[in-house]
């Protein structure tokens, strides 16, 4: 049992925050002490005074392993809710989260002045290659800071992050008007903690996973999130990792530089290398867990049958997510009643009510497919004539960019990696999901082709590799040195995020000044349309895009300039005829 005490500001007063992994006995004791649970800070808390502090130490003499930002008690007691000037501290404890001192560097002192005291300027623990600091917002100072290359604002944590570089240090300290604020830990020194532990416990509901409890420190939380297979469990208030020896060793190795020890409470032979999942298994497991979190426990049996049949038929993660979400919505609307007791007429009535409430035709089709799958595949009612009315799908033409508009977008992107992402997406007509998982071994330079594997519908296909970016690809590889994936994500060995690619495209469209709404998929539409305008056979375009039906590809024939330009409006014909007749009359008069 491990407890961390931390001073925090909550509801206009200082409090003693009490952090610990989920424990029913501890929660019961907290209630006996009249402690209150804060959803904002995800902890229990008591008023910040000496009596409460002594009571905690007396109640849990051996459990308190970390005391953070709780200062030395003065001669008089403190009353919660007083101003900061009147608030005496409790016990001396340096902490970089609330002070300007550098962790485990007692000889380092930060020079403070009027600005520092007024703006509450303070250092936080380093995150990776960045110094982290916080202060009250001042527009002029903030603009100067963000103008420095290597400094940015982290909206998630409401902090400034500065690259640990001597030049960045000099510029930022000059703007802030302080000396030796960051120290000299340039990219090679790690923040160290004392008396902090990471607990690793078994997961009795699923022995393929282990529960990892990480102390509530930003730098440690960020590190556990970097594990590609980590997922957070709300039920246990911890992170779950595959119970494999390699993963456990990685946890020890990653946190050892911070002085944080890993305490294993796993049974003998609990770790098994076969528990290490591949990418497909990881995606399916994550989606499956998210689906079960949306329904109460008594309805799990219905979702279990539904999910098991989808997995047994080897459907994709996207199908599991879409069909599962639609089925859960159906259950929710029927108060999680047994779906086998809901007849076809009730299902039709439910679908009609959804359409009446403004459900899109696309979502309606997904609902129909999910319910049809459940009644036919799960319940086995194939002999029953169970026909659902199909909502009429809206026929919308996809947005398309002209060649000039595409060029404008590419020209405003300066980052080589970002530019190559968009160029390759347009030049080969790739979906964003295909773009981010592209591997170097899939690019056939000698054949000038790209092998797209396991795309939509679990189909492979060959697409063109534009000659114009072959040299660009080689140059990019020398700069970024990626290993497996062409576009690696934030962490080595992981593919780039589709959300990040969409964000790059969105910013490029804004910067180019285009009024059109365009996404990465718009580049794919533009690719197909421009090929048609060049006279490429629509059947070849179908193969390049990976369409199952030629009808899908035929949509682009309505968008080509040449096809539209060849058609003359009857109004123009009438106007031209009238103009010719008028000119003829004038000629006769002359």
User: Catalytic site residues?
Assistant: 431, 456, 521, 524, 547, 556
Among residues 417, 425, 437, 452, the alpha carbon closest in space to that of 495 is found at: 437
How far is it, in rounded angstroms, from Cα 102 to Cα 99? Answer: 8
Phi first, then psi: give them for residue 452, nearest 5 degrees. -90, 120
What are the structure tokens assigned to 439, written together? 């591997």
β-strand 122-127 against 64-68: which pairing, if any?
unpaired
Task: Please say whether the beta carbons of 310 and 320 come within 8 A.
Answer: yes
Task: Please say whether the beta carbons of 302 and 338 come within 8 A.
Answer: yes
Among residues 224, 257, 218, the alpha carbon closest in space to that of 96 is found at: 218
Q: What are 331-334's contacts with CB under 8 Å, separation 24+? A: 331/295, 331/299, 331/302, 331/303, 332/295
Q: Report the Cα 514 to chain-centroid distance in Å.
A: 27
Contacts with 8 (C-beta within 8 Å, 6 or more apart), sequence order: 14, 15, 16, 17, 41, 43, 45
Does residue 236 sit in helix, strand or coil? coil
Contacts with 278 (C-beta within 8 Å, 6 or more apart), sequence order: none
What are the structure tokens assigned to 491, written together? 């962490």
Task: Please say whether the beta carbons of 436 and 502 come within 8 A.
Answer: no
Q: How far is CA 418 from CA 295, 407, 422, 498, in A?
A: 40, 14, 7, 12
Contacts with 251 (C-beta within 8 Å, 6 or more apart), sequence order: 198, 200, 212, 224, 227, 241, 262
Among residues 179, 169, 182, the alpha carbon closest in space to that of 125 is found at: 182
How far is it, in rounded angstroms, from Cα 376 to Cα 340? Answer: 11
What are the structure tokens assigned to 294, written together? 């949306």
DSSP state of 290: H
DSSP tally for the chain: helices H, then strands E: 22, 17
What are the structure tokens assigned to 450, written together? 């790209």
Task: Please say whether the beta carbons of 261 and 198 come within 8 A.
Answer: yes
How far is it, in rounded angstroms, from Cα 487 to Cα 501? Answer: 10
What are the structure tokens assigned to 402, written together? 């002209």
Task: Please say whether the beta carbons of 522 and 401 come within 8 A.
Answer: yes
């Amino acid at each position: 049992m491990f407890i961390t005490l931390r001073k925090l500001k909550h509801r206009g007063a200082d409090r003693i925050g009490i952090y610990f992994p989920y424990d029913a006995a501890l929660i019961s004791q907290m209630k006996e002490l009249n402690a209150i649970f804060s959803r904002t800070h995800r902890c229990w808390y008591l008023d910040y005074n000496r009596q409460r502090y002594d009571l905690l130490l007396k109640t849990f003499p051996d459990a308190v392993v970390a005391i953070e930002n709780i200062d030395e008690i003065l001669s008089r007691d403190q009353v919660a809710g007083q101003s900061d000037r009147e608030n005496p501290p409790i016990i001396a404890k340096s902490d970089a989260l609330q002070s300007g001192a550098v962790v485990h560097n007692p000889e380092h002192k930060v020079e403070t002045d009027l600005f520092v005291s007024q703006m509450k300027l303070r250092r936080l623990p380093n995150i990776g290659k960045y110094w982290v600091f916080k202060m009250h917002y001042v527009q002029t100072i903030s603009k100067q800071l963000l103008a420095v290359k290597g400094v940015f604002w982290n909206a998630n944590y409401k902090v400034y992050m500065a690259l640990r570089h001597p030049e960045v240090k000099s510029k930022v300290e000059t703007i802030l008007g302080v000396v030796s604020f960051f120290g000299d830990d340039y990219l090679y020194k790690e923040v160290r903690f004392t008396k902090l532990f990471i607990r690793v416990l078994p997961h009795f509901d699923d022995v393929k996973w282990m529960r990892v409890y990480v102390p509530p420190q930003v730098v440690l939380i960020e590190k556990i999130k970097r594990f590609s297979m980590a997922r957070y469990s709300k039920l246990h208030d911890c992170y779950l990792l595959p119970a494999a020896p390699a993963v456990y060793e990685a946890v020890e190795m990653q946190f050892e530089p911070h002085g944080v020890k890993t305490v294993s409470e796993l049974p003998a032979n609990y770790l098994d290398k076969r528990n290490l999942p591949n990418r497909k298994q990881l995606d399916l497991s994550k989606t499956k867990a998210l689906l079960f979190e949306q329904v109460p426990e008594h309805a799990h049996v219905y979702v279990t049958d539904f999910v098991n049949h989808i997995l047994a038929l080897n459907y994709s993660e996207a199908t599991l997510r879409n069909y599962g979400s639609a089925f859960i919505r159906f259950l929710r609307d029927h108060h999680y009643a047994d779906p086998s007791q809901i007849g076809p007429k009730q299902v039709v009535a439910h679908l009609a009510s959804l359409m009446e409430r403004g459900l899109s035709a696309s979502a309606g089709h997904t609902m129909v497919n999910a319910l049809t799958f459940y009644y036919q595949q799960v319940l086995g009612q194939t002999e029953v004539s169970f026909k659902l009315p199909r909502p009429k799908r809206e026929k919308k033409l996809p947005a398309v960019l002209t060649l000039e508009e595409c060029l404008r977008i590419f020209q405003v992107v300066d980052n080589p990696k970002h530019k190559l992402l968009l160029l390759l997406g347009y030049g080969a007509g790739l979906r964003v999901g295909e773009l981010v998982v592209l591997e170097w071994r899939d690019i056939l330079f000698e054949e000038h082709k790209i092998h797209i594997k396991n795309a939509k519908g679990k189909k492979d296909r060959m697409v063109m590799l534009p000659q114009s970016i072959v040299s660009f690809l080689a140059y990019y590889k020398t700069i970024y040195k990626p290993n497996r994936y062409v576009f690696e994500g934030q962490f080595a060995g992981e593919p780039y995020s589709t959300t990040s690619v969409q964000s790059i495209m969105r910013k490029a469209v804004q910067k180019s000044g285009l009024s059109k709404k365009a996404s990465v998929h718009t580049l794919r539409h533009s690719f197909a349309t421009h090929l048609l305008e060049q006279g490429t056979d629509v059947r070849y375009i179908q193969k390049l895009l990976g369409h199952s039906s030629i009808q899908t590809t035929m949509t682009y024939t309505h968008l080509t300039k040449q096809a539209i330009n060849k058609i003359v409006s009857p109004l123009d014909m009438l106007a031209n005829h009238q103009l010719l007749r008028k000119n003829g009359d004038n000629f006769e008069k002359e």
